[in-house]
Structure 1
Amino acid sequence: MVNTSDFIKRIDQILKFYDLSASAFADTIGVQRSSISHLLAGRNKPSLEFVLKVVSSFPDVDLYWLLFGKGSFPKKIKTASPIVEKKEQMAAGNEVMADANPRSQAIDKIIIFYADGSFKSYTEKGG
């Protein structure tokens, strides 16, 4: 059985982690704002539908942690920014490409394409 007061504390942790108000949280998971208000006040118990909406809306929330406090929150550590993750993915992709091409990795030409259809081409001179 879910301990309602502990469940409410975990909901509060989620709100603080994502810096959400109760009404923004309700909008995010797709429930009425009054449902969150009644739940946080202890008047209502969480329904299975409510729990599933929280878990599906917030991938860092583990079902067993939310229900029973077992496990950890967040599931994975938040990175500094999505840009850092993208750079790491690109670097990993470049390593794979470098391994696949046994020829020299010297850059011959760089071409930058702009949104208006124009471009600039840079070629190393001299050498």
Structure 2
Amino acid sequence: MINSSDFANRLQKVIDFYDETASGFAEKIGVQRSSISHILSGRNKPSLDFVMKILHSYPEVELYWLLNGRGNFPTTETKISEIPNPQLDLKVENLNKPDISKSISNNSEIEKIVIFYKDGTFKSYNP
């Protein structure tokens, strides 16, 4: 059984860790602001759907840590570079996109290819 006040404390730690407001956190996980408020105040217990939304939006949060305080937060496997920075809101679509075909010559050797995704993640490939 989940202890509501302990869960609320862990939820607050997650919100504080990402330097989010309760409203911003609610928006990111896709719930109403009142849901966060009611859980933090102890009025309501979290539903399974609520917990799963947190885990989906914040993969650094461990299920067992969130539910009963066992484990780590953030996960020990998480690298600092993998933790999203809510202060950065890069809008790439507003930048002029250069025509890279002019900057690549047939004689050049590719050192690294980096693909940036709209969700803020990226993948780097070294041929």
What TM-score do you get using the length of structure 2 for normalisation?
A: 0.64
Q: Which amino acid aligns with 2:63?
A: L
Q: Whose helix proportion is higher, 1 or 2? A: 1
Alignment partner, residue 110 of structure 1: none
Counterpart of 2:102 in structure 1 is: 118
Distance 1:37 1:80 in 2: 29
Q: Could you tell me which runs of 5 or more consecutive residues in structure 2 were left unpaired when the two chains were aligned.
A: 83-97, 109-127
Q: Which residue is equivalent to 1:81?
A: 81
Larger CA Rg, structure 1 vs 2: 1
Distance 1:27 1:76 in 2: 26
Partner of 2:95: none
Aligned to 1:49: 49
Identity over aligned pairs, percent: 52
Q: What CA distance in whole angstroms lies between the structure 2 residues aligned with 1:51 and 1:117? A: 46
Q: How does 1:1-127 map to 2 (within 5 A)?
A: 1-76=1-76, 78-81=78-81, 115=99, 117-119=101-103
Shift of 1:41: 1.2
Q: Secondary structure at the match of 1:19?
A: coil
AA partner of residue 103 (structure 2): F
TM-score by length of structure 1 reads 0.64
- TM-superposed deviation, 1:118: 2.2
- The structure with higher relative contact order (CA 8 Å, sep 6+) is 2
- Give the Cα separation in 2 of the matches to 1:25 and 1:63: 17
Q: CA RMSD in A?
A: 2.1
Q: Tell me how far 1:80 sits from its aligned partner.
A: 4.5
Aligned pair count reads 92
